Structure 1
Amino acid sequence: MIEDIKNRLSEHFPDSDITVQGEGSHYDLQVISSAFDGVRPVKRQQMVYAAINDWIRDGALHAVNIKAISPSE
Structure 2
Amino acid sequence: MTPDQVKTLIETGLPDAQVSVTGSEGHFEAQVISEAFAGQSRIKRHQMVNATVMNEITSGALHALSIRTFTPEEADTNAS
Q: TM-score range by the shorter chain?
A: over 0.9
How many aligned positions are there?
73
Structure showing greater Rg: 2
CA shift for structure 1 position 13: 1.4
Unpaired segments ≥5 residues, structure 1: none
Equivalent pairs: percent with the same residue? 38
- In the alignment, residue 32 of structure 2 is paired with which amino acid? V
Deviations 1:38-58 (Å, cap 9, x if unpaired)? 100000000000000111111
Q: Which residue of 2 aligns with 1:35?
A: 36
CA shift for structure 1 position 11: 1.1
What TM-score comes out, normalization by structure 2 length?
A: 0.86
Unpaired segments ≥5 residues, structure 2: 75-80
CA distance in 2 between counterparts of 1:13 and 1:5 reads 12
What TM-score comes out, normalization by structure 1 length?
A: 0.94
Q: Which residue of 1 aligns with 2:60?
A: 59
Q: Which residue of 2 aligns with 1:7?
A: 8
Q: Which residue of 2 aligns with 1:18?
A: 19
Structure 1 consecutive aligned stretches of length 4 or more whose deviation exceeds 3 Å: none
Greater share of helix: 2
